[in-house]
Amino acid sequence: MLPTLRPVTRAGEATNEGSSESTPSVAPSPLARQSDASAGEPARRVSDATVSRLPVYLQGLVSLAGEGAASVSSESLADLSAVNPATLRRDLAGIGITGTRGVGYDVKYLVHEISVVLGLNQEWPVIIVGVGNLGRALANYEGLATQGFPVQALVDIDSSIVGSAVAGVVVEHFDDISAVVAREAISVGVIATPAAAAQEAAQHLIDAGLASLLNFTPVPVVVPDHVQVRGVDLATELQILSFYQQRSTAAARGTGLPLGTP
Amino acid sequence: MLPTLRPVTRAGEATNEGSSESTPSVAPSPLARQSDASAGEPARRVSDATVSRLPVYLQGLVSLAGEGAASVSSESLADLSAVNPATLRRDLAGIGITGTRGVGYDVKYLVHEISVVLGLNQEWPVIIVGVGNLGRALANYEGLATQGFPVQALVDIDSSIVGSAVAGVVVEHFDDISAVVAREAISVGVIATPAAAAQEAAQHLIDAGLASLLNFTPVPVVVPDHVQVRGVDLATELQILSFYQQRSTAAARGTGLPLGTP
DNA sequence: GCGTGTGAACTCATTCACAGCC
DNA sequence: GGCTGTGAATGAGTTCACACGC
């Protein structure tokens, strides 16, 4: 289940802002077993849209499995996942999963295959940059570790914090990011800094060799193509909701602007 | 070091910069004026994709305004927002915002217009369903109120919690949702319950008349067409990152080359 | 019969490229 | 000259509809 993380590359250098293009040498990951089906196939191109729905399917499937369901139809699972059944079938076909005509999909098989495709059969150690309120909350959130994303490093620029322990992890200095990432075989970088520092944090994480970032600030960070960033920002979400809320209330007011008239 | 979101200039709050624009003061009743200045036009259909980018633009603009910039080119703002310049221009044109050829867009005007379009010139009171760890953290997060989303109600099913105060708000019983929503003129419902209760919470919020939900659980909630739901789930985001992480490490191993190949 | 797998049509979004205006 | 505004091309994703296998 969990491959051991062994310090491989011991990078002692503290990138002092000077090293421009640094060594992307970090190859932290424990082995990633590709979808076990047939090995020799060319890499399937799974679309981003599909990938973003897989966790949703998985959620529903786990719930179904808990109820003892042995198989599901695309329609049932689609309902649970709030998507169109055809989309669900396309997605599954796209990752090489096949069902049985007239019957449906095998729940256990689906759970396993999706887990493998998502890479959930291994651990992805996480570093959190910025140990403020949010950073601390995340570090203390057990959900991370239980889902396979153990928080194994914390860094901050504030030297009055460095050295203290949060959730059993000692806070290290931001400047030592590269060394820390290498030492702990980190795979995912979480940006929990003030917004103004987000880009710099991202840059250092990338320089340290990371290719997966989770950004909690409201500012988008600019990254090279090979790096994936996901943003999670409360204010952004609320502002989007605000738009639709305003639109619907405006419509409800009935200001001569008919709303749902197709 | 919480994710400091600076007080987004609520329309009406004068950010004392140039006095060029006539910042209309907050009207007694904050009417939701549709984007477009010339009344009578049929409601523009702003695409979902555009709406989701507006908060990002706004973020960059507020930052630019803070630096004293008077105008921006689509290219500059697009860089800040990590989008294509043409997309930015299309988005702005779509909400009726026009720039000046050869010059760019007026920063203050843009900030104001986008704020109005998003509905940020008024407050949207929030109810939080589920006063556990997450619910409490959200209730205590000042960012919500300063961004125009004051938490004015908390409900839970656990009667041992009901009656206590969190962040100055008394927790009421889940069964009284409808009354609470009406009394406090709530606009946005936040689901911070355990995953298993998400759908029921959503249903009650919708029954109470809400059309904007923010779901912090990993399970998608099924809602009628007129209701907008945004999901914010850490596990989902991490699982998506996990996929790309796995893919990139697999690719790196396959080629034996570092990711960037010239 | 039932439900998957997929051709085909359709809708929507992104991006180029350039004409038009300052 | 610089930068906006937008037709047109490209591409991605969704959904219908139905043939095929159980």
| Residuewise pLDDT in 10s, chain A (262 residues) | 333 322 322 232 333 333 333 333 333 333 333 344 444 444 568 999 999 999 999 999 999 999 999 999 999 999 999 999 999 999 999 999 999 999 999 999 999 999 999 999 999 999 999 999 999 999 999 889 999 999 999 999 999 999 999 999 999 999 999 999 999 999 999 999 999 999 999 999 999 999 999 999 999 999 999 999 999 999 999 999 999 999 988 777 765 443 333 3
Identify the CA nearest to B210 among candidates B232, B183, B189, B180.
B189
Query: For residue A249, is it within any domain?
Result: no
- For residue A3, the model assigns a pLDDT of 37
| Shared domain check, A204 and A109 | no
Find the residue in B nearest to A233 (Cα). Answer: B232
- For residue B254, the model assigns a pLDDT of 65
| Shared domain check, B132 and B114 | no
Identity of residue B215:
N
Query: For residue B248, is it within any domain?
Result: no
Domain of B199, in residue numbers: 126-231
DSSP string, A25-90: ----PPP----SS-TTSPPP---HHHHHHHHHHHHHHHHHHHTT--EE-HHHHHHHHTS-HHHHHH
Which of the two residues, B41 and A221, has the higher pLDDT score? A221
- Rounded CA gap, A252 and A245, in Å? 10
Which of the two residues, B219 and B32, has the higher pLDDT score? B219
Query: For residue B136, is it within any domain?
Result: yes
| Shared domain check, A70 and A53 | yes
| Shared domain check, A144 and A100 | no
Q: Hey, is B84 helix, strand or coil?
A: coil
Domain boundary among A118, A134, A154: A118
Query: For residue A103, is it within any domain?
Result: yes
Report the percentage of chain B scoring pLDDT > 90. Answer: 76
| Shared domain check, A227 and A141 | yes
Report the percentage of chain B scoring pLDDT > 70. Answer: 79
Q: Which of A246, A248, A261 to mutate to test the interface with B (most CBs of B within 10 A)?
A: A246
Which CATH number characterizes residue B201's domain? 3.40.50.720
Identity of residue B200:
E
Residues of chain A contacting residue B52, judged by C-beta atoms under 8 Å apart: 240
User: Rounded mean pLDDT of B208-215?
Assistant: 97
Find the residue in A nearest to B117 (Cα). Answer: A243
- Rounded CA gap, B76 and B90, in Å? 15
| Shared domain check, B198 and B133 | yes
| Shared domain check, A103 and A134 | no
| Shared domain check, A132 and A79 | no
Query: For residue B12, is it within any domain?
Result: no
Tens-digit pLDDT profile for residues B120-179: 999 999 999 999 999 999 999 988 999 999 999 999 999 999 999 999 999 999 999 999
Backbone angles phi and psi of B173, in degrees to 5: -85, 140
Identify the CA nearest to B145 among candidates B242, B7, B38.
B7
3-state secondary structure B195-243: HHHHHHHHHHHHHCCCCEEEECCCCCCCCCCCCEEEECCHHHHHHHHHH
User: Rounded mean pLDDT of B198-225?
Assistant: 96
Identity of residue A28:
P
Angle between helices A74-81 and A85-94 (to 10 degrees): 100
- Cross-chain residue pair B237–A236, CB shorter than 8 Å: no
- For residue B75, the model assigns a pLDDT of 97
Query: For residue B14, is it within any domain?
Result: no
| Shared domain check, A152 and A60 | no
Which CATH number characterizes residue A76's domain? 1.10.10.10
| Shared domain check, A136 and A67 | no
Give chain A's domain count. Answer: 2
- For residue B29, the model assigns a pLDDT of 33
| Shared domain check, B140 and B89 | no
- Rounded CA gap, A131 and A158, in Å? 9
- For residue A254, the model assigns a pLDDT of 63
DSSP E strands in B65-124: the ranges are 71-72, 105-106
- Cross-chain residue pair A234–B143, CB shorter than 8 Å: yes
- For residue B113, the model assigns a pLDDT of 97
| Shared domain check, B79 and B166 | no
Domain boundary among B86, B118, B150: B118
Query: For residue A184, is it within any domain?
Result: yes
Tens-digit pLDDT profile for residues B101-120: 999 999 999 999 999 999 99
Query: For residue A261, is it within any domain?
Result: no
Domain boundary among A88, A118, A148: A118
Backbone angles phi and psi of A221, in degrees to 5: -105, 140
